[in-house]
Amino acid sequence: MKEGFTVAGRRIGAGCPTFVVAEIGINHGGDEAVAAEMIEAAARAGADAIKLQTIDAGESYAPDTPSYREFKGKEFGLDALVRLDELASRKGVILFSTPGDFKSLALVVQAGMPMVKISSGLLTNLPLIRAAAETGLPLILSTGMAYLEEVKEAVSTARKAGADRLAVLQCTSLYPAPADQLNLRAMQQLDEATGVPVGYSDHSRGTLACVAAVAAGATILEKHFTLDRAAPGADHAISATPAELANLIQQVRIVERMLGRAVKEPTAAETPLRAARHRYLVAHHDIAVGEVFTPHNVALKRVLPEVSGRGTKGLPARCYDDVLGRRAASDIHENQVIGASMVNGFP
């Protein structure tokens, strides 16, 4: 994962806590009071950010499309967006949005939101990506339905337009997305191909995919959010409830602790156990001075950590082959550890 960036005081990228986004979208149904309740609930659950969809139905969709009917009447004006943004700030979370068109992008910027999301359906809308990049705000690009070359083109377009704070999210644009369609390993290729932090936008049922995505390297996690999964609307059925979101975030934080860092070495708690748990060379029975060490008289055993032979610490198991065939420099009693001074010619 590549170097990250900061949004409203929160760092996003490798080595940082996963940036968890509660995706409200239009699950508020166009009701500002419901949106406010959802912001408060997501903040209580521990989300870092909350995302809306800001779309002018007439600018984004033809009137006879299902999307037009779904989004029409659920728009918020500038005053409502400002109030919701102020509420989010008071609750300690970031509020941002996915603008669906130029008019909505201008509205999001005017409302003072600190970041812009480009949805999967907009990834090939290079004019909108260019305009979003020109705002100077950080951009998150979702990549559902996209080929890698399209992702690279979108990232390149944003960069050429001045965007220097970018992230991309693996996404499968199915509702719900089955487990065998999520392709979480695609994050590895996105990371290598784009050079920006990568994350995961989830459309599956439940929370397992989100936790798995964090284990697979996601630095941003976006999960749809609702107060009532049975509510009418396209996204409610795949959304997490407040209790589920809180549980998801708790699991993510546990996974982060599990992941540790990319260094293989004993933990601080393990280090004192090494001497007690590893095997050492021990006399299988009494060995007389001058006797040849063989597999019959040398055993590999766990011993007390401070056990020594004639003041010499026992030889570890890796010395077994070097000792066999040599002769004992002194008498060694049964179950006595074999130290270097007890072996003639030991290196």
Sign, CA torsion 96/42/48/159? negative
Residue 306: the pLDDT is 60
* Band of residue 304 on the pLDDT scale cut at 50, 70, 90: confident
- Residue 308 predicted with pLDDT over 50: no
Residue 310: the pLDDT is 43
- Residue 210 predicted with pLDDT over 60: yes
CB contact set of 121 (below 8 Å; sequence gap of 6+): 144, 145, 173
CB contact set of 140 (below 8 Å; sequence gap of 6+): 115, 116, 117, 118, 166, 167, 168, 169, 199, 220
In the three-class reduction of DSSP (H, G, I as helix; E, B as strand; rest coil), residue 101 is classed as coil
How many Å apart are CA 14 and CA 197, to the nearest integer? Answer: 7
In the three-class reduction of DSSP (H, G, I as helix; E, B as strand; rest coil), residue 18 is classed as coil
How many Å apart are CA 158 and CA 126, to the nearest integer? Answer: 8
Residue 318: the pLDDT is 95
The token pair at 88 is 């989010």
Sign, CA torsion 322/325/331/336? positive
* Band of residue 309 on the pLDDT scale cut at 50, 70, 90: very low
Picking from 109-118, 153-162, 224-233, 304-313, which range would have the lowest pLDDT averaged per residue? Answer: 304-313
The token pair at 229 is 């999964």
What pLDDT digit, counting tens, does each position of 137-174 carry?
999 999 999 999 999 999 999 999 999 999 999 999 99
* Band of residue 231 on the pLDDT scale cut at 50, 70, 90: confident
Residue 307: the pLDDT is 55
- Residue 37 predicted with pLDDT over 70: yes
